[in-house]
């Protein structure tokens, strides 16, 4: 910027990551200036929204800055997973995805709020207070990656990473009117991600556009020797085509007609499916009866079972908080009682029970068998279709406090995202319209490793839908 | 009533891989506390295990030596419990799909072969080390505080579980000696009980001799040598027989053996009721050892100690054969030509005393030495043995030395020795003929070990009798 005569005004509300990268490449502004622009937006709007638990002031890297969900370990930056039990814990190491972001030159903007240990669908379970939805601050942003989703929607980050176990990327993306990808299980390293349920946890992007989503997925995906469950990933293609010719789209009846889906949500999704047909897709109905009936109950056996074991390491011995006591077991009990909120406690108890001698086969063992059934059912559907579509969430963003007293009602927020997750399949949520002035998400599910197909379909639909991702109140 | 003991063993073998089971930290002793640690073995949030391929290979090797089937698909499982030495709150072990199953291990005995069934052998990670400061018995309860050293945490272990096929403390000890030798020869562990690289728990019960019932068993822990294992089992057998004979009932329990007193003390029963809530470790994919690897390792297996004892027993006796094999000297024995008994004796006595590595000894040279041992000076023979493992060792210079057997030359020395020890001479003449060895030793000393022992003895006997 030679003479300093040219001033680039950054509208972080509209700026996509791809556009931001263009500005950096064209030397229209520096990475530090870009970083500063987002920090300014954060000081302006995050007081109301509470997307961030902490920000990082210095831009480390010459690329587009990124927000990381607070369960991504960041060397030297406190990482709490939204829990009091990890208050003050500063990792000695970077999660593999954080390393990949650094290697790609993406400076970390900050760590975003989340439901404690990713357990929740509203970000109200954070020990540090809830995040508010940028479309309507009396409403939740969804969860558990609510901080990341709201930050992107409110222009407080060009893009962000979240994690998805039962729907924690897709559902908040839907409720905040942005794009979210839960990748195929095994494509993105979990090394350094504070674990909730290991066989379900996946890291993925939250972005304004499908192209941004593909670009960020390209940065983080790939086999990692530190995570034995990762695999080689096919090359990521950044989508360009604006039609859907030749694409076979299946509409699973049970996912689209499930009890509890709001009429406004059904309408918006119906219009998007119609649009897909106009773009050249072949649309047909299909069925996933057992996946939808058993997905949620089995998820609530497997995820808590794994969580009960994953959370055992928080014993007060080595790091973070400790409640002193005279004896070891008493210290452990007091630390965990003081450190965990209600939802982790509830799930630890559920999971401990499900794994107990005499119950294991009937609960955990049986749930794993059902998981195979769910995977088989999806595999059969993908013989006829390339992509399956449904609403991402049965409802639009709900009022803060509306479901906190009723855990089961909260669990039902994920009833449409859980089946594909149980099968380890990739799912993309894109905004497809408004209902009562609030965003509705369209879920696109593909077979394993079909991220490129999802990007292609999502991109074409996104162009045709022309959804404005800037919340109305900020326009 | 006469009773038959029924004993099964659970053995933990610490593998001497360079790195730990699930991380790249160096394994082994010697570092300052908590120096050999990383996010994985400290269970930092988000850290994930990656299995050590060498440890898997070595466990397969051990499984093959135990005659086990190697699973096509073995699954790591989490064993959940809280303890300060268990940082994740679970130990990664194997549960219903272990790496090695259903083996048999032959233990030769003086009365014939005894076959011990192997239930399974699986891979797991070692716990960290805790030191409980203050309080009684080094136990966590009642201690003032506890210190944890995570250096050992995550070291690879193979756990071997036997069938209850052993029927005496002695048999259990022999089984362990042979197992240890096998492990050492496979090169996968130092297997030293004193250092804790080999750990043994014993399940013990007794039943009326001749019956095949299985009565309530107890578990013995904290025995850190083969002798203590034998003593602990012996004590527990006696205790149980006492209980039954007194009309009582043996209760399932875990006991610690205290070597100093030979006593068994019961552990608090609360710890036994633990539910470990095993489930497959979701952070790891199943281990699927390739067939070619397993077949390759099977082909490389050396002849096992049990078989070698059987072979050697035919030309020696059982105890000598057992001694040669369990001390690792049987290969040298077999390589060395000459009178079998003489070779075995030299290897088990003088060579063992010289602290020489038997595998570095040139057997041809050793054979020549042993053949000449009657003829050359004792000191020369001992010196030759001490140097037998040195590179390029030749027996020639020692064979060239002749023992001093000339009576004319020896007589003045003998006279001098007798004159210098009048008290002993008197005692000998008073009937203490065992003192002959003393005089021989004195003469040897005077001659720097060069005198022919046989000639000296004859001369001494003669002179002591003559002047009586």
Q: Are B82 and A315 in contact (CB under 8 A)?
A: yes
- In angstroms and rounded to an integer, the radius of gyration of the C-alpha atoms of chain A is 21
DSSP assignment letter at A88: T
Nearest CB neighbour to A226, from listed B48, B87, B89: B48
Give the mean model confidence (pLDDT) for residues A228-234: 97
A132 CA to centre of own chain: 16
For range A352-374, the mean pLDDT: 94
Phi, psi of A245 (to 5 degrees): -60, 130
Which residues of chain B are in CATH 1.10.10.410 domains?
407-466
B49 reaches A (C-beta below 8 A): yes
Q: What is the tens place of the pLDDT at every residue in B303-358?
A: 989 889 999 998 999 999 999 998 889 999 999 999 999 999 999 988 888 888 89
- The residue among B44, B45, B78 with the most chain A CBs within 10 A of its CB, best to mutate, is B45
3-state SS string for chain B: CCEEEEEEEEEEEECCCCECCCCCCECCCCCCCCCCCCCCCCCCCCCCCCCCHHHHHHHHHHHHHCCCEECCCECEEEEECCCCCCCCCEEEEECCCCCEEEEEEEEEECCEEEEEEEEEEEEEECCCEEEEECCCCCCCCCCCEEEEECCCCCCEEEEEEECCCECCHHHHHHHHHHHHHHHHHHCCCCCCCCCCCEEEEEEEEEEECCCCCCCCCEEEEEECCHHHHHHHHHHHHHHHHHHHHCCCCCCCCEEEEECCCCEEEECCHHHHHCCCCCEECCCCCCECCCHHHHHHHHHHCCCCHHHHHHHHHCCCCHHHHHHHHHCCCHHHHHHCCCCHHHHHHHHHHHHHHHCCCHHHCCHHHHHHHHHCCCCCCHHHHHHHHHCCCCCCCCCHHHHHCCCECCHHHHHHHHHHHHHHCHHHHHHHHCCCHHHHHHHHHHHHHHCCCCECHHHHHHHHHHHHHHCC
Residue A181 placed within a domain: yes
Kindly report the nearest CA distance between residue B30 and chain A, in angstroms: 22
Picking from A69, A97, A313 by the largest number of B CB atoms within 10 A of its own CB, the best residue to mutate is A313
Instruction: State whether residue A226 sits within 8 Å of chain B by CB.
Output: yes
- Mean pLDDT score of chain B: 91
pLDDT of residue B458: 86
CA separation for the pair A361, B189 (Å, rounded)? 37
Q: What is the pLDDT of residue B112?
A: 84
pTM for the whole structure: 0.90
Name the residue among B43, B46, B148 with its Cβ closest to that of A73: B46
More confident of the two residues B303 and A38:
A38
Domain assignment present for A33: yes
Interface contact A225-B50, CB threshold 8 A: yes
pLDDT reported for residue A3: 42
Contacts of B45 in chain A (CB under 8 A): 71, 73, 79, 81, 86, 89, 91, 194-195, 313
Region of residue B175 (phi > 0: left; psi between -120 and 50: alpha; otherwise: beta)? alpha
Decide if A341 is inside a domain.
Answer: no
Q: Do the beta carbons of residue B168 and residue B3 sit within 8 Å?
A: no
Give pLDDT, residue B138: 60
DSSP letters spanning A393-458? SSSSPPBTTSSTT-HHHHHGGGTTTHHHHHTT--EEEEEEEEETTEEEEEEEE-STT-HHHHHHHH
Distance set, CA A428 to CA A388, A434, B95, B166 (Å): 10, 18, 37, 61
Query: Does the beta carbon of B45 lie under 8 angstroms from any beta carbon of chain A?
Result: yes
Structural domain span for residue A163: 17-290+369-474
In this complex, the residue of A71, A318, A329 whose CB is nearest that of residue B82 is: A329
B87 vs A contacts (CB less than 8 Å)? 313, 317-318
On the question of pLDDT at B17 being above 60, the answer is yes
Q: Quick check: B45 pLDDT over 80?
A: yes
CATH class of B407-466: mainly alpha
CB-count exposure of residue A174 (10 Å: 0-12, 13-18, 19+)? buried
Chain-chain contact of A228 with B48 (C-beta, under 8 angstroms): yes
Phi, psi dihedral angles at A441 (to 5 degrees)? -105, 140
pLDDT beyond 90 at A449: yes
Domains contained in chain A, number: 1
Residues A70-79, mean pLDDT to the nearest whole number: 98
| Chain B CB contacts of A360 below 8 Å | 277-279
CATH number of the domain to which A78 belongs: 3.90.1300.10
Closest CA to A101 of A211, A11, A17: A17
Q: What percent of chain A has pLDDT over 70?
A: 98
Categorize the per-residue pLDDT at A7 as very low, low, confident or very high, splitting at 50, 70 and 90.
low
**Does A161 have pLDDT greater than 60?**
yes
Tokens representing A227 are 């995570």
Does residue A89 form part of some domain?
yes
In a domain, A93, yes or no: yes
Contact between B285 and A91 using a beta-carbon 8 Å cutoff: no
Q: Cβ of B271 under 8 Å from any chain A Cβ?
A: no
HSE, CB side, 13 Å, CA atoms: give it for residue B159: 13
**Does A346 fall in a domain?**
no
Give residue A4's pLDDT.
45
**DSSP state letter for A205:** E
CA torsion angle for A455, A460, A463, A464 (degrees, to 10)?
-140
pLDDT digits (tens, 9 = 90+) for A267-321: 999 999 999 999 999 999 999 999 999 999 999 999 999 999 999 999 999 999 9
| Residues of A labelled as active-site residues | 69, 144, 168
* pLDDT > 80? residue A6: no
Q: Average of pLDDT values for B153-174?
A: 96
In a domain, A334, yes or no: no
Phi, psi of A401 (to 5 degrees): 85, -10
**pLDDT higher for A402 or A59?**
A402
Q: In this predicted structure, what is the pLDDT of residue A2?
A: 42
- The 8-class DSSP code of residue A191 comes to T
ipTM (interface pTM): 0.95
Q: In sequence order, what are the beta bridge partners of A112?
A: A52, A69
Candidates A193, A308, A313; nearest CB to B43: A313
Distance CA B101, CA B103 (A): 6
Q: Is the pLDDT of residue A375 over 90?
A: yes
Q: Count the Cβ atoms, other than its own, within 10 Å of residue A341.
A: 19
How far does the CA of residue A229 sit from the closest CA of chain B (Å)? 6
């Amino acid at each position: 910027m030679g003479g300093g005569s040219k001033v680039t005004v950054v509208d972080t509300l509209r700026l996509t990551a791809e556009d931001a990268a263009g500005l950096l490449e064209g030397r229209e502004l520096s990475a530090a200036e870009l970083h500063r622009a987002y920090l300014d937006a954060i000081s302006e709007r995050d007081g109301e929204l509470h997307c961030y638990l902490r920000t990082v002031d210095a831009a480390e890297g010459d690329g587009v800055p990124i927000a990381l969900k607070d369960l991504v370990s960041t060397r030297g930056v406190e990482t709490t997973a939204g829990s009091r039990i990890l208050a003050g814990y500063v990792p000695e190491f970077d999660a593999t995805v954080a390393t990949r972001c650094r290697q790609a030159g993406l400076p970390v903007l900050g760590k975003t709020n989340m439901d404690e240990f990713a357990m929740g669908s509203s970000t109200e379970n954070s020990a540090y207070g809830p995040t508010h939805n940028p479309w309507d601050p009396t409403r939740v942003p969804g969860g558990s990656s609510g901080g990341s989703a709201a930050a992107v929607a409110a222009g407080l980050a060009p893009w962000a990473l979240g994690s998805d176990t039962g729907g924690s990327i897709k559902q908040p993306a839907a409720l905040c009117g942005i794009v979210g990808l839960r990748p195929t299980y095994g494509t993105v390293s979990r090394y350094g991600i504070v674990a909730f349920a290991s066989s379900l946890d996946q890291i993925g992007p939250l972005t304004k556009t499908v192209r941004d989503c593909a670009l960020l997925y390209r940065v983080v995906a790939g086999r990692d020797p530190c995570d034995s469950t990762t695999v080689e990933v096919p090359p990521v293609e950044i989508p360009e085509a604006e039609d859907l010719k030749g694409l076979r789209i299946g509409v699973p009846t049970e996912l689209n007609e499930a009890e509890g889906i709001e009429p406004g949500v059904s309408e918006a999704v119906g219009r998007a499916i119609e649009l897909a047909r106009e773009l050249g897709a072949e649309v047909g109905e299909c069925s996933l009866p057992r996946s939808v009936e058993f997905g949620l109950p089995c998820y609530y056996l497997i995820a808590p079972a794994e969580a009960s074991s994953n959370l055992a390491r928080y014993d007060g011995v080595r790091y973070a908080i400790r409640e002193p006591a005279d004896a070891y077991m008493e210290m452990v009990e007091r630390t965990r009682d003081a450190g965990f909120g209600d939802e982790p406690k509830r799930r630890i108890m559920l999971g401990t029970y499900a794994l107990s001698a005499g119950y294991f086969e009937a609960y955990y063992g049986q749930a794993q068998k059902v998981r195979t059934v769910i995977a088989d059912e999806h595999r059969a559907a993908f013989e006829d279709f390339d992509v399956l579509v449904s609403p991402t969430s049965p409802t639009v963003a709900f009022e803060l406090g509306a479901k906190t007293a009723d855990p089961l009602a909260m669990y039902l927020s994920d009833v449409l995202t859980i089946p594909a997750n149980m099968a380890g399949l990739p799912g993309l949520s894109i905004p497809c319209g408004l209902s009562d002035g609030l965003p509705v998400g369209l879920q696109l599910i593909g077979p394993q490793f079909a991220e490129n197909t999802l990007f292609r379909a999502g991109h074409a639909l996104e162009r045709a839908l022309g959804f404005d991702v800037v919340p109305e109140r900020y326009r | 009533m006469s009773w038959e003991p029924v004993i099964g063993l659970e053995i933990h073998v610490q593998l001497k891989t360079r790195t730990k089971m699930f991380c790249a930290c160096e394994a082994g002793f010697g570092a300052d506390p908590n120096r050999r640690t990383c996010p994985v073995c400290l269970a930092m949030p988000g850290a994930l295990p990656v299995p050590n391929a060498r440890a898997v290979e070595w466990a397969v090797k051990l499984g093959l030596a135990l005659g086990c089937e190697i699973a096509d698909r073995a699954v790591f499982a989490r064993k959940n419990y809280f303890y300060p030495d268990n940082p994740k709150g679970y130990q990664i072990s194997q549960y219903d799909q272990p790496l090695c199953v259903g083996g048999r291990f032959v233990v030769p005995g003086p009365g014939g072969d005894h076959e011990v069934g192997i239930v399974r052998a699986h891979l797991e990670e070692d716990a960290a080390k805790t030191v409980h400061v203050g309080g009684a018995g080094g136990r966590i309860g009642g201690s003032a505080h506890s210190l944890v050293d995570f250096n050992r945490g995550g070291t690879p272990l193979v756990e071997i579980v036997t069938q209850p096929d052993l029927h005496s403390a002695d048999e259990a000890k022999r089984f362990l000696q042979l197992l240890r030798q096998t492990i050492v020869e496979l090169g996968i562990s130092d297997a030293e009980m004193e250092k804790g690289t080999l750990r043994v728990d014993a399940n013990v019960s007794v039943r009326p001799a001749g019956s095949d019932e299985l009565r309530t068993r107890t578990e013995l822990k904290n025995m850190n040598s083969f002798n203590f294992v034998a003593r602990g089992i012996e004590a527990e057998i006696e205790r149980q027989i006492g209980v039954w004979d007194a009309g009582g009932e043996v209760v399932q329990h875990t006991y610690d053996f205290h070597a100093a007193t030979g006593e068994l003390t019961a552990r608090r029963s609360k710890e036994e009721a633990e539910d470990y809530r095993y489930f497959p470790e979701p952070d790891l994919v199943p281990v699927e050892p390739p067939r070619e690897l397993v077949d390759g390792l099977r082909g490389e297996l050396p002849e096992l100690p049990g078989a070698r004892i059987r072979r050697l027993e035919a030309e020696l006796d059982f105890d000598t054969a057992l001694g040669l094999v369990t001390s690792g000297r049987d290969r040298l024995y077999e390589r060395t030509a000459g009178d079998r008994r003489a070779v075995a004796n030299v290897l088990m006595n003088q060579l063992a005393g010289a602290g020489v590595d038997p595998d570095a000894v040139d057997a041809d040279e050793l054979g020549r030495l042993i053949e000449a041992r009657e003829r050359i000076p004792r000191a020369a023979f001992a010196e030759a043995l001490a140097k037998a493992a040195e590179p390029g060792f030749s027996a020639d210079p020692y064979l060239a030395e002749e023992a001093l057997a000339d009576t004319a030359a020896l007589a003045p020395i003998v006279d001098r020795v007798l004159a210098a020890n009048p008290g002993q001479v008197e005692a000998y003449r008073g009937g203490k003929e065992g003192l002959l060895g003393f005089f021989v030793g004195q003469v040897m000393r005077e001659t720097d070990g060069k005198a022919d022992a046989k000639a000296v003895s004859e001369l001494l006997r003669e002179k002591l009798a003559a002047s009586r």
